[in-house]
Structure formats: structure tokens, C-alpha cells
Amino acid sequence: MEGIRTHILVCGGTGCMASESEKVIKNLGLILKAREYKEEVKIVQTGCFGFCEQGPIVKIEPDDVFYVRVSPKDAKDIIDEHVIKGRIVERLLYKEPSNENTINKQEDIPFYKKQLRIALRNCGLINPEDIYEYIALGGYEALGKALTEMTKDAVLDEVKKSGLRGRGGGGFPTGLKWEITKKQESDVKFIICNADEGDPGAFMDRSILEGDPHAVLEAMAIGAYVIGADKGIIYIRAEYPLAIERLNIALKQARDVGLLGKNIFGTNFNFDIDIKFGAGAFVCGEETALINSCEGKRGEPNYKPPYPAEKGYWGHPTCVNNVETFANITAIINRGAQWFASIGTEKSKGTKVFALAGKINNVGLVEVPMGITLREIIYDIGGGIQGGRKFKALQTGGPSGGVLTEDNLDTKIDYDSLIEIGSMMGSGGMIVMDEKDNMVNIAKFYLEFTMDESCGRCTPCRIGTKRMYEILNKITSKKGTMADLDALKQLCYMIKDSSLCGLGQTAPNPVISTMKHFWHEYLAFIKDVDHPQGEGKYVPKNKIGIKS
């Protein structure tokens, strides 16, 4: 290919062929020959660009200019104007329907630009069981750079400046957590990767571990270097056998080439990782319960403070981070905090992986920049609601989160805006409901889950969730009264305020938010029983007041 300075890519997909892309190619070739540019410019017929509606598509590389609806007679202008004179042929650029702005880069076309994959950058692209494929794509360079060219503080600074926040649900600034753990005076420290992923319907972390395990190992080593640990633990549920297998292969390969073990990259930094298995309890994803479980104790949470960063695994300072949090680290070190911080919103930087499920056409994993709207996720990426039905609600944050409704479709989502509208980011489960779903049943589903998963250590959660579930059951079997709704509401706030850990503190959220947005659906179960007029006529029968 020597001497070729420009490639003209012409789409050879069925759609474009139907709209004469072959003639376009032929004309381009003839004109190139006539102008004697054949040695310098190469025409390539490509596969489908996926933008058939605008075909035929022609792309000029390396200029990265994207022409649409190119007819055979446009070939002359593309060669004479663009290729020879370097002037973009404006009339062939794509126009965004909404504002008629012309767009000339492929990335800028709405269809292409919705997803950005940082945490998932290698998933589906490399063989996760071959460390050399990971290295070929820049793997372990961030670790090498950190160990040999950067001080601990410099690495920490990068992570802090990037604005990365914990992807496990809480959204705690990762740099700050590393800094707190780093500051602890102790000879023994640990770094733990939380791969428990108990949120029903979520599988972001599993996909990362199965598709790109080294990204997590490398990031753990970087974190360990910063905080001063020489031992790491990956806590993963035993229900993820394939992820465990690939992690074990990755660990072995990293040890074999000396990227884990003693004197990594010829420095005096030693680091290795153990895998510990969880039995699949939701509560064991909570960091203090996780640490207890790692120590072989019952998987029950402790009161915080002290936080794990101060007193964690066997009483030593321990940094617990989520899989997806780690998966962002090497990209930050390689490309810089500034690059990362340029993506997202003011207070939530970077991207988030979501597991899109429920009544949506394109069920799957998506990774989108913070600040995208739900409408874009559901309609542009998710392909809309199944069967062309109407969107009703969307649950984020799993059993700890709440529902969002049509009114929230245009909210730019990040950690803070989601809390503002009554839900939370959570770990990334996103379940879409349509007009056929009954919201009381949805709330009951989540409550059944938290009731089952309550570890029983504290009373409000152990007994409270059970009572809530009983009341919900009574309501959905049309035996409930307004007093039951009242009691349900009160229980919600009682459990929220008095539970020991995040499980109990958030368990009532699905009920609270469905009551807020879909009160009429609760009433519909009650109305016919003893208060046909509904809420307005209701006089409390007992002394329980409504707190809300």
C-alpha cells in the first residue's frame, strides 16, 4: 500500500448497493484514473456502515469525513473538490434532522455517538484467556508507567483529578478512598475487588471479568501501589464459574510473566491476588459484610465507622472497590485525568455501564457517558419498548433504587440527579416497564427479594421487610384497606431510618417511589373494598399517622 495517501471507503452493504453504490465506485475509479490519482488514492468497498437509511455512504480516510446519499454523479465532486483540492463537499454531509446542522465525522452522527466504552473497551475484542492480546492493546502499560515513572502521589493525583466515583452504587470518590487508605499508618494493608454483584438483573461486572480480566488485575495492582498494599483479594460469587475460571487463568499468566509477584517491572513493588468465593448473598456485596465473609465469618454487616479504609480485613486498612471502578483506572492513567474528566457531567465523570432489561427491544449491556438522558438510552440505544407499547416506568438501582417515570425521561442522569428524582445510580441495573406492568406487583417483587436477602442481624430489616411484604400481599390480593396503606407507608420510613446497613436503609425505596408516582395503582386494589371514593374520604382507623 506504499504511496497511498487517501482511502475512499464506499459502503457495499445491501442497502447501499440497492441505492447504486456500485456505480459510485465505478465512477470514482474512472475519474481517479482520468485525473491520474490512481497510485495515491485507493477505493475500498466496505461492509455495512449501519446507516443504510442515508446510503450510499462514502467515507474518506484519514480525513474522517463522512458523506451520505452519494449518487454516481457526485463522484466527480468528491474527487475534484475533496481528494484533489482538499475541500469538503458540504452538500453531501449528513444533516441532523432536528437542527439541520451538518456533521462530517462519523463519531458525530447521532446513531454512532451514544455509547462510549471505557470500562468495556476490550470486551468482545480480545481473547480474555491470552495475556498477550491484552498487552498488544496497551495492557499493563499503565502499571509499568505508574511503577517506574510516577510517584504514588502522582498516581493518586491523577485518579483524584479524573473525578472517578465508585461504580458499586455509592458513588464515593475513588481517589479520596485511596487517599484515606494510603494515609493510614500500618505495615499491612489490603485492596479488595468487590465482584459480588447481587443486584437482580445486573451483569456488568461479570461481563468485564469474563471479557477483560486483566484490566481489573492491573488496576488492583495500581491501587495497591498507591495505598501501600502487597496483597489483593477478589471477592466473587461462586455463581460466576466462567468469570472465576478466566480470572484464574489471567492470574496464572500474569504471574508467569512477572506482572504479579515479586519485584514487578524490576521495582521493589510486590503484589499478588487471591480469589475468595461468596455464596451469593446480596448483603455480602456490602463492604463490611464482604470483609466478614472473607474472614470466614457470617456475611453480616458491621456498624460504620470504622470504615474498611481504617479497619478492614483482619483489622487492617482495606480499600474496597467495585469491578467497574477498577476497569476505568488504567484508561485514566494511560490517557490522563483530563481526558476522563472531559466526559460526563460536572460532578459525575466518565461513563456508566448499564444492564438494560425488561420490556425493551435491545436487551443488553450499554456504556454511556454520564449526563445522557433516559430517553436516549431507551429509544436511541435500546430501540424503544417491545411491541411498540407505551413506556411506563424504569427502575434503576435495583432493589435499593426507585422508579422513574415519563416525566424523568429528559433528565440528564448522573449520581446526583438520580437521587434528586427519587432513585439512585446503583450498580447499573435498568429495568424497563411498559403500560401492562402493575407497579404494586413490581414493588412487591423487589420487596420479596430484600426480605429474602435480609441477613437478620438487625430487627427493623429482618422483621420490617417481612411485615411490608405481608401487607403488600394482602393489598395485591384485594384484601387491603386504607389503613394497610397507611401502615405500609409508616413501616417504610421506620425501616429506612433504623436499619443497620444499606440493605435495610434502602429496601423500602421501591415501595416509596411507586407510592409516590403510582398511588392510584395502590388505590385501585383498595377502592372497591371499603372506600369506594378513594383517598379523599379516608379517615384513619388507627393511631398510625402518615409520615411522608
Partner 1 sequence: MKIKSIDELRKIKEQYQDFVQLRKQGEGNSEHVEVLVGMATCGISSGARETLNAFVTQLAKEKIVGAKVISVGCIGYCHAEPTVQINIKGQKPILYGNVTEANVSKIIEQHIKGGKPVEDLVLQVDFERA
Q: Per-residue DSSP letters for 155-166?
A: HHHHHHHHT-B-
Task: Report the partner that residue 315 touches, choosing among ligand FMN, partner 1, none (CB closer than 5 to 8 A by kind).
Answer: none
Phi, psi dihedral angles at 320 (to 5 degrees): -105, 120
Residues 67, 72, 76: CA angle, nearest 5 degrees: 75
Site stretch for ligand FMN (CB under 6 A), options 12-20, 66-74, 140-148, 281-289: 281-289
418-437 footprint of ligand FMN as x/- string (CB under 6 A) = ---------x----------
Q: What sign does the dihedral 85-86-92-98 (CA atoms) show?
A: negative
Task: Report the partner that residue 117 touches, choosing among ligand FMN, partner 1, none (CB closer than 5 to 8 A by kind).
Answer: partner 1
Q: Is 286 in the site for ligand FMN (CB under 6 A)?
A: yes
Residues 475, 481, 485: CA angle, nearest 5 degrees: 70
Task: Report the partner that residue 172 touches, choosing among ligand FMN, partner 1, none (CB closer than 5 to 8 A by kind).
Answer: ligand FMN
Stated as kind and residue range, the H or E segment containing 353 is strand 351-358
Q: What does DSSP assign to residue 81?
A: I
CA atoms of 391 and 347, how far apart (whole Å):
29
CB of 269 to partner 1, least distance (A): 13
Q: Is 168 in the site for ligand FMN (CB under 6 A)?
A: yes
CB of 350 to ligand FMN, least distance (A): 12
Query: Residue 436: exposed, middle, or buried by beta-carbon count in 10 A (0-12, 13-18, 19+)?
Result: exposed
CA atoms of 59 and 347, how far apart (whole Å):
37
Site stretch for ligand FMN (CB under 6 A), options 207-215, 331-339, 405-413, 499-507: 499-507
At 464, which amino acid appears? G
Q: Is 351 in the site for ligand FMN (CB under 6 A)?
A: no
Query: Residue 434: exposed, middle, or buried by beta-carbon count in 10 A (0-12, 13-18, 19+)?
Result: middle
Phi, psi dihedral angles at 357 (to 5 degrees): -145, 180
- CB closer to partner 1 out of 127 and 270: 127
Site stretch for ligand FMN (CB under 6 A), options 61-69, 97-105, 147-155, 498-506: 498-506
CB of 502 to ligand FMN, least distance (A): 2
Q: Is 170 in the site for ligand FMN (CB under 6 A)?
A: yes
Q: Is 320 in the site for ligand FMN (CB under 6 A)?
A: yes
- CB closer to partner 1 out of 270 and 548: 270
Residue whose grid cell is 392510584: 520
Task: Report the partner that residue 526 touches, choosing among partner 1, ligand FMN, none (CB closer than 5 to 8 A by kind).
Answer: none
Task: Report the partner that residue 427 touches, choosing among partner 1, ligand FMN, none (CB closer than 5 to 8 A by kind).
Answer: ligand FMN
Tally of CA atoms within 13 A in the half-sphere of 326 that contains its CB:
31
Q: Is 300 in the site for ligand FMN (CB under 6 A)?
A: no
Task: Report the partner that residue 48 touches, choosing among ligand FMN, partner 1, none (CB closer than 5 to 8 A by kind).
Answer: partner 1
Site stretch for ligand FMN (CB under 6 A), options 224-232, 278-286, 309-317, 353-361: 278-286
Alpha-carbon dihedral of residues 402, 406, 409, 413, nearest 10 degrees?
-20
Site stretch for ligand FMN (CB under 6 A), options 152-160, 253-261, 282-290, 533-541: 282-290
- CB closer to partner 1 out of 44 and 546: 44
Question: 470-485 burial, b if ≥16 CB within 10 A, otherwise e?
Answer: ebbeebbeeebbbbbb
CB of 400 to ligand FMN, least distance (A): 7
CA atoms of 107 and 147, how far apart (whole Å):
35
Q: Is 282 in the site for ligand FMN (CB under 6 A)?
A: yes
Q: What cell was used for 352?
A: 456508566
Task: Report the partner that residue 127 touches, choosing among partner 1, ligand FMN, none (CB closer than 5 to 8 A by kind).
Answer: partner 1
For ligand FMN, the binding residues (CB under 6 A) are: 166-170, 172, 194, 196-198, 282-283, 285-287, 320-322, 325, 427, 501-503
